Structure 1
Amino acid sequence: MLSAYLAESRLSALLKWGLFLLLPLPLYISSSMLFPFITGRNFGFRIIVELLVILWVGLLALSKEHWPRLSWLTKSVILFLFIVTLADILGANPYRSFLSNYERMEGLVALIHMALFFMLISSVFRRFSDWRLYLYSSTAISILVASVGLAQKFGLTTSYQGGVRVDGTIGNPAYLASYLMFHVFFLLFLIWRERQAWLRWSATGVIIFELYIIYLTATRGVILAMATVAGLLALYFAIRKPVERREAALRRTALAVLAAGVVVIGAFLVFRDSSFIKTNPVLGRFASISAEERTVQSRFLIWRMAWEGVKERPVLGWGQENFYLVFNKYFNPKLWSSEPWFDRSHNVFLDWAIHAGLLGLLAYLAVLFFGVKNVWTAWRGGRVSFYEAGILGGLFGVYFFQNLFVFDNFQSYFLLFLTLGFSDYLAHAETAPPKPVRPDYSLAAVRMRNAWITLGVAGTAVLISLYVLNVRPIMASRALIQALAKFNQGAAITAVQSAFEKSIGYGTFGSGEAREQLASLFRSVIGAEGRGGDDEKKKFNEFTIREMRVLTEAPAPDAKHLLFLGSIYNAGLTLNPAYAGEAMAALQRALQLSPTKQPIYFELASTQLALGNGDAAMQLMEKAVSLDPSFPGAHLNAAFAAILGGETDVAERELAAYRDLVHTLDQATIQRLIEAYLRSNDFAKIKLLLLEGIKTFPESAELYGQYAAVLATLGDKEGAKQAALRAGELDPKLKPEVDKFIQELDSQTPL
């Protein structure tokens, strides 16, 4: 008869220790899947949570003691989930809203799993010792993550994202800073009531270490948020009258922090323009902050675009993962200097207003509000000290402030829901241990029977979920990596196509990502020598078009996919001239969805030139230029179109405008201009371009070789020989070709 109570005890223990399996996920880098810092961790989190849910529902059937506490915070989480679900169902693209993609791994499925994690941890962590061990364990993992960042700083390993900013095993400096920020506050909270001196000193050392790594990430949003909140907390601690010895010491520390903050900020402002500040990779990023900075300007532009989207659908928004529709429709042409495509507004509050409307934003803010209210309740109830309340309140403050400039990710979501669960425990924790309840033996058999039934039903449902939502997408992602590997290894077209067919054939939410990757490498595949003949290229072309049409014919198509499709049609014109009409139709649809996106005009102009419509091409390029005359690429593309269309005066005008904005031509631009002038046989212009290029890049053997060929075409044999010899000097591997070139020049009969 006691088996039910034994089962309850074991299930509770298994759940507790199972939750610890989630903590090492930030160390996991899934190199066998696309987006290795995102996909593996999210799949791992979902799989572990789903397996734990099986145990949890069995535990709920055995005992009501473990049912989630229906606090105001829990109610707000449920309400938030309900509103977001409704917004996703009624949104523009429910499939995308539910499942997201490999790059983000968010959507409704991710939110449900986070809510389940909140329920799980709130149900089984019922003592402070449980939370203390969990927070310390999470901090131990964060030390390992931060240590990788330290190794990156000193060159022992390279940053995964490149550059001087460290990213640890998180793979993104901003995400790393946010991840470590939570753990700094966890330790600041725990250190107050820690009785063991060695732990207090160790925690202090870890705090200093992780603050240093946060500094090395050069993440302005997180660092400014922490500095602001630190100042407010120091002021809060300084003005409160101490009631015990520790609080008096805390007050002195707070005053010292305030004084140090004034000195540091003052010194920074005074020496902001010094070479020391400007050349420092971290301080330089802060010194460059201004309303004129490109990143700041792009944030303001995209926030205005997002607000237009909010105004269009204010109640329930567009559904998660549908920001691309707002980005396309309200695209500001001045964003040409930033990323070509945004899927977030880089402001969490605007993102939720887009995802789930103002109702969703209010529900999200309600979750944060009740998290903070829990801290207040715990303080008023004597369950935390005013210092601990200040630290937890500060954590919510930093999280709120940083989200004005960034968006959430797996690590920040996980730690947010962990913090919310902890705040709910503190607000409702018993001040004295609960009295033992005498077991009701008469219900033990009934509870065991109910538990077995519940376990069976939950296990079946979870196994289906595991396969559909996790196993198949994982297999599809690995197949996609194999397809990309075959491409990079120079495999035959048929092998590359077969690999992509395998990945897409799984029919998961990752199929869209596979199709995008297919489109991105299409030109390289058909343009490469030795991969296959014309028949194979034509079949690959048809395969790529067929797969891209799946994306463009889906509900709420993306202008980006229509642009990709139009580009693929244009690239395949030599294989099938009839593609010109299809390209025109796809690009016109893209233009309807995003009428101010310059690259669509560029591709449409390319189609018009292929059809021999030079005037129409120039009209499109003039429109692209007029959208934002400060965009150098628009002037350059207009010049190309003019050269190919025989509009010499227009070409010179647009090139002059381009040179006013970009004073030095890079080699790639020089090569593109040479190709354009070659099609019009204007070797005089090519000669001038090459002379300019050689002056700028005097060590380029390629430019000297091209210059030699042009001089030979223009009849300057001696100049051609000298240029060829110089190319051979710069690159000895070219000597056989140089000798052959000179022999051919000498063998030519003079006119």
Structure 2
Amino acid sequence: MKYISTFYRWVLLLPAVLPLFYIQGMMYPLLAPKTLVLRALGVVALALFTYLALTGKPFFWSRLRRRMVWIPATLLLIAYVSSLFGFDFYHSFWSTFERGDGLLTLTVCVEYFYLLLISADEKLITRFFKIVALVGTLASVYLIIQWLAVSSGADVPFIVKANGRIGGTMGNAAFLAAYLGMAFFATLAAAPEYQSWWRRMLYAGAGLQVFAILLTATRGTILALIFIGAGVLVYKTMKGSEHMKMYTRVALIFFVVCAGLFFTFRTILQQVPIESIHRLASISLADPTVSSRLFLWNAISREAFGRAFLGYGAENINVPFNTVYDPTRIIEEWFDRSHNAYLDYFVQFGIGGFLLYLALIIIIARTGWQLWKAGNKYGLFILGIISVYAIQNFFVFDTGVTLWFLLALAATAFAKQSAQGKEISFPIVRQRPFLGVVLGIVILFLIIPVSIQPLRANLLTFEFYQFQIIDVARANAAAQKELELGTYADLELGYNAYFMYTEEQIKRLSGDDLRMAYENAVMLLTRAFNHYVSDARTAVYLAQVITHTSPGVTTDKAMLTSALERAIRLSPKRAQPWYILANLSISNANEYPPKSPERIAGYAAAMDILTKYIATVPTLSAPHFVLAQLFYASGNAADAAAEAAKGKESYKTDLETASRAASYYETVLDLPNATFFLGEVVRLDPKNTAAKDDLAKIQAYEQSK
């Protein structure tokens, strides 16, 4: 039992290593493996604990007597109740590969909280902080190497190529910065445990973590560190020796002067080619991202108050988002998070879930403060970790890694504060070693549905993606095998089928390959459409694929109608379903001779559809130009010009709208406006040679007059 007990203690700490873990050759290789391993470790930890508890291994059971330690369990219970009465319990439980959250991950993290709480002694707590310090430092080194590779254009072996802002081993800049902000204080806590050279190395590691956070240019974490630093300076000006007060007052004055200079020269700093400075300086209500998020928070909050007690259930934030989605106010087209963890908890789990989440953060902070005031060296650093988490989560959302970190921190903080007491054996039943072995083995089998089957599904989805062009039959076979596994991958399989078909296969395939690709995409999206009835994204994707029918395949008009009806009902301001409806009327009308009553009626129906959509989103520019084209095609040039003028008046920089506008103005030979919008197209899409050619011809014509 000694070796099993030792292994169990290491399994409790292994999730701390997950920020470094990724596997190439999977879908979402930097996130999905972390989720699957975390869930598998949760199963292994529970199996080992069951065996040890039933064979007489003593634990700190008395720590469970404190009422505050039951907050995570109560939050988990509310999460399950909210999801049972929510929109899709299956999706709530499993989540997706891209996110890796959901009830299952929350359950594993809460399980880890209680196992750590009753198992943690001083040695385990110290080891926890040391591992986080080491992992945080290595993750920072990895990101710095990745940054150097991006800056130099070099390919570095074993370093993932970054797309956009560098995200290191997390694949997302905000995710990594959120973790490193917490790891920074854990590193400072672990450093005093070492002597001489190792201590200096850890302090250097803490510095690397701050540098890495700056490289990610994640404003939420940077602001959190700035606020905490300012708070420490203010506190130190009032506490401590007079000598220390003098230094901190000077530092505080310097900080205030720097902040004042930053705001004074903010416009200039926005042009600085250092992304972290540029992004901080660009924070304002006029910033597109900021204004979009503020609108989203306000709109989703108002929508969520309609289900303030029950919430929408885990992983169902997309439901109110699609309801309030407004293309004129929100940048992101599809959202399953509000980018505010507090609002996410309220939307998903109602007021009860939000208050419990907030209470957990406050109690951890209070525990850290009490430990610090009592002279425990870890107290101040626990307070620092939870402060970073609390501030940055106004702007980001949890991953499995940071959620586990939060609950592990809570367990270690509560364990630190509790009197060590005496470890005792399981107080309810007597020792039953055989039962412990049997139950432990039974629990271990849960790894199959929890991690192994999803891993197989993920690999098959990657195979589906990998062979989409070179071997369509193999790609489709992989998708079919994935469906036969019966996992939660079917939703993302439909999303991937849509992107593959509309962006790659329809352009690069022909004949039987194109037909097979089309039929497979329709089949996958139809399956997801029937399964996930509250997902507007699947409905829109299905409608778009059906309208791009492969030659020789009959369009399923009944399914198309059903998909469009659901898409508009779930997300009424989204443009694509309305455009598809209008295009269907136009296509049907074009089957009849020009100026025939049938064609006129078809065009009139299309104009009626667009007029209704414009009434829903009057300040969206693009549909005005679509309607203007229809008016002009119907011989109504005056109404076409009036509608186009409305579109131009409400125009905001956008490639799709500029293309539609340029096409219209070229059609009606309005050369000044055509020149303006073709210039916009070329500016937004420098590779668009057709637009460049048209613009050059118009300019040459204007100069020759």
From the superposition, tell whether residues 499 and 179 of structure 1 become closer, same or farther in structure 2 (CA, over 3 Å): same
From the superposition, tell whether residues 249 and 97 of structure 1 become closer, same or farther in structure 2 (CA, over 3 Å): farther
Distance in 2 of aligned mates of 1:502 and 1:700: 40
Q: Match for residue 562 of structure 1?
A: 539
Q: Match for residue 622 of structure 1?
A: 611
Pairwise CA distance, 1:485: 0.9
Q: Match for residue 133 of structure 1?
A: 127
Q: Are positions 1:314 and 2:313 aligned together?
A: no
Give the counterpart letter for 1:55 in structure 2: L
Aligned with 2:435 (options 453, 459, 484): 453
Q: Are positions 1:546 and 2:546 aligned together?
A: no
Report the secondary structure of 2:531's partner residue.
Answer: coil
Q: Match for residue 745 of structure 1?
A: none
Q: Match for residue 51 of structure 1?
A: 44
Give the counterpart letter for 1:467 in structure 2: I
Distance in 1 of aligned mates of 2:670 and 2:55: 85
Distance in 2 of aligned mates of 1:25 and 1:701: 43
Q: Are positions 1:572 and 2:561 aligned together?
A: no
Give the counterpart letter for 2:259 in structure 1: I
Contact 1:30 1:36 in 2 (8 A): yes
Q: Match for residue 108 of structure 1?
A: 103
Aligned with 1:468 (options 425, 449, 461): 449
Q: How does 1:495-574 map to 2 (within 5 A)?
A: 495-524=474-503, 527-528=506-507, 530-533=509-512, 537-538=514-515, 540-554=517-531, 556-572=533-549
Contact 1:609 1:641 in 2 (8 A): no
Give the counterpart letter for 1:141 in structure 2: V
Aligned with 1:396 (options 386, 407, 413): 386
Give the counterpart letter for 2:69 in structure 1: T
Distance in 2 of aligned mates of 1:631 and 1:691: 19
Give the counterpart letter for 1:615 in structure 2: A
Distance in 1 of aligned mates of 2:656 and 2:70: 60
Distance in 2 of aligned mates of 1:511 and 1:297: 34
Q: Match for residue 597 of structure 1?
A: 574
From the superposition, tell whether residues 685 and 573 of structure 1 become closer, same or farther in structure 2 (CA, over 3 Å): farther
Q: Match for residue 180 of structure 2?
A: 180
Distance in 1 of aligned mates of 2:47 and 2:284: 52
- Normalising by structure 2, report the TM-score: 0.86
Give the counterpart letter for 2:607 in structure 1: M
Pairwise CA distance, 1:319: 0.5
Q: Are positions 1:152 and 2:153 aligned together?
A: no
Contact 1:609 1:645 in 2 (8 A): no
Q: Are positions 1:422 and 2:438 aligned together?
A: no
From the superposition, tell whether residues 626 and 239 of structure 1 become closer, same or farther in structure 2 (CA, over 3 Å): same
Q: Match for residue 285 of structure 2?
A: 291
Contiguous gaps of at least 5 residues in structure 1: 1-6, 243-247, 712-718, 720-751
Relative to structure 2, which stretch is displaced further, 109-118 or 580-589?
Answer: 580-589
Contact 1:492 1:532 in 2 (8 A): no
Report the secondary structure of 1:619's partner residue.
Answer: helix
Q: Match for residue 222 of structure 2?
A: 223
Contact 2:372 2:380 in 1 (8 A): no
Contact 2:26 2:459 in 1 (8 A): yes
Pairwise CA distance, 1:275: 5.5
Contact 2:12 2:116 in 1 (8 A): yes
Relative to structure 2, which stretch is displaced further, 112-121 or 623-632?
Answer: 623-632
Distance in 1 of aligned mates of 2:14 and 2:356: 30
From the superposition, tell whether residues 307 and 117 of structure 1 become closer, same or farther in structure 2 (CA, over 3 Å): same
Q: How does 1:663-702 map to 2 (within 5 A)?
A: 702=689
Give the counterpart letter for 1:384 in structure 2: N
Pairwise CA distance, 1:406: 1.2
Pairwise CA distance, 1:626: 3.9
Aligned with 1:13 (options 6, 15, 29): 6
Pairwise CA distance, 1:466: 1.0
CA displacement 1:447-466 (0-9 Å, x = unmatched): 3xx13312321321321x21
Q: Match for residue 405 of structure 1?
A: 395
Distance in 2 of aligned mates of 1:564 and 1:131: 49
Relative to structure 2, which stretch is displaced further, 282-291 or 620-629?
Answer: 620-629
Give the counterpart letter for 2:200 in structure 1: W
Relative to structure 2, which stretch is displaced further, 143-152 or 466-475?
Answer: 143-152
Pairwise CA distance, 1:657: 4.6
Contact 1:329 1:593 in 2 (8 A): yes
Give the counterpart letter for 1:184 in structure 2: F
Q: Are positions 1:79 and 2:74 aligned together?
A: yes
From the superposition, tell whether residues 190 and 277 of structure 1 become closer, same or farther in structure 2 (CA, over 3 Å): farther
Q: Match for residue 210 of structure 1?
A: 209
From the superposition, tell whether residues 399 and 498 of structure 1 become closer, same or farther in structure 2 (CA, over 3 Å): same
Pairwise CA distance, 1:514: 0.4
Contact 2:502 2:545 in 1 (8 A): yes
Contact 2:79 2:353 in 1 (8 A): yes
Distance in 1 of aligned mates of 2:419 and 2:251: 33
Q: Match for residue 118 of structure 1?
A: 113
From the superposition, tell whether residues 495 and 203 of structure 1 become closer, same or farther in structure 2 (CA, over 3 Å): closer
Q: Match for residue 267 of structure 1?
A: 261
Contact 2:621 2:652 in 1 (8 A): no
Pairwise CA distance, 1:537: 4.5
Q: Match for residue 596 of structure 2?
A: none
Pairwise CA distance, 1:234: 2.2
By relative contact order (CA 8 Å, sep 6+), the higher-ranking structure is 2
Q: Which has the larger radius of gyration?
A: 1
Aligned with 1:384 (options 376, 389, 392): 376
The number of residue pairs the alignment matches comes to 674
Give the counterpart letter for 1:33 in structure 2: M
Distance in 2 of aligned mates of 1:436 and 1:481: 48
- Normalising by structure 1, report the TM-score: 0.81
From the superposition, tell whether residues 707 and 134 of structure 1 become closer, same or farther in structure 2 (CA, over 3 Å): closer
Contact 1:493 1:532 in 2 (8 A): no
Contact 1:37 1:171 in 2 (8 A): yes
Contact 2:50 2:440 in 1 (8 A): yes
Pairwise CA distance, 1:666: 6.3
